[in-house]
Amino acid sequence: MNLDCYAGSSLKGFFGAYYLARNRYEKLIKQCVLPQGFMLTLLKGFYGGSLSEAAKVLEFEPKAQAFNVVYNLGPTLFAYFFADNHEYLTADTAAYMRPFYLEALPLLTEEEAEKCDFIFKRHVKRKLKFYDSGEVKDPVRRRFMEELLEGIKTSWNNLNPIVQEKLSPLVD
């Protein structure tokens, strides 16, 4: 099987969005050609257990990829919470990827935080609409969001002041 993520490019020096590759293999997973845990296994193979571990494996500086992780992964994680049937992430893969996002948040520069303004506003809007209102009732997704919010609170003092300003409605 030719994995798209290997085709014609090296993963060295880059944190690619391969957590979004599930739809490419969904048919094979549904037909039991690939096991249910295929994507999680693939992710663990690409990234290891954390952003710092991925940086060692893929030979990049975590700070150099922090923006890509926050800008690309953040919306996907928040979408997993509110989407009834998220097309890319399962509960296991979302929970696995959450620490990568949380590890990248404190690494954002002021300029990168400003570039994330739209993303952060969407996070706040979705949290208010789906979490605070209690619209999402699924206990697994609610626990996921609680742990995501707790992770943001835990790293609060290490966040750039602009990130704190933008995300303060998430933790208030």
Domain ranges of the chain: 61-171
15, pLDDT greater than 80: no
- Output the CA–CA distances (angstroms, integers) from residue 68 to 4, 63, 73, in the order listed: 19, 10, 8
Please tell me the pTM assigned to this model. 0.86
127, pLDDT greater than 70: yes
Quick one: pLDDT band at residue 4, thresholds 50, 70, 90?
A: low
CA-to-CA distance for 122 and 112, rounded, in angstroms?
16
Quick one: pLDDT band at residue 85, thresholds 50, 70, 90?
A: low
57, pLDDT greater than 80: yes
Mean pLDDT on 140-155: 94
Q: Which helix (H) or strand (E) holds 40?
A: helix 38-47
